[in-house]
Structure 1
Amino acid sequence: MKELGVAKTTRFLQQFTTGSGNYTEDRKELLKNWTLDDVLEETRRRRKNRSA
């Protein structure tokens, strides 16, 4: 804290506050109908759009 000061230390610590919800359960629900092929296709599509 000496090095950063109070304000910067506070900002740093705020990056690590816990959120709300249950990511694992939310992810299971969102992806329950996805196959491996769906994931691969979406990954390829996003990579193509990113480089375009």
Structure 2
Amino acid sequence: MSSASESPHDFVLVRRGYRPDQVEAYTAALSQGRDAAGGGAARRAVLAQDM
């Protein structure tokens, strides 16, 4: 077994977990993608209803 743990999202492991700035940046990017997808779905629903 390896003594170093690896993160599935390339976060740097530090003594007590992940670096907060990396996690915050990653979750902010996920949130932006989620918000963009939600807006696109809402627009498509309106367009489909108009058709």
TM-score range, shorter chain: 0.3 to 0.5
Q: Structure 1 or 2: larger helix share?
A: 1
With normalisation by structure 1, the TM-score equals: 0.39
Structure of higher CA gyration radius:
1
With normalisation by structure 2, the TM-score equals: 0.39
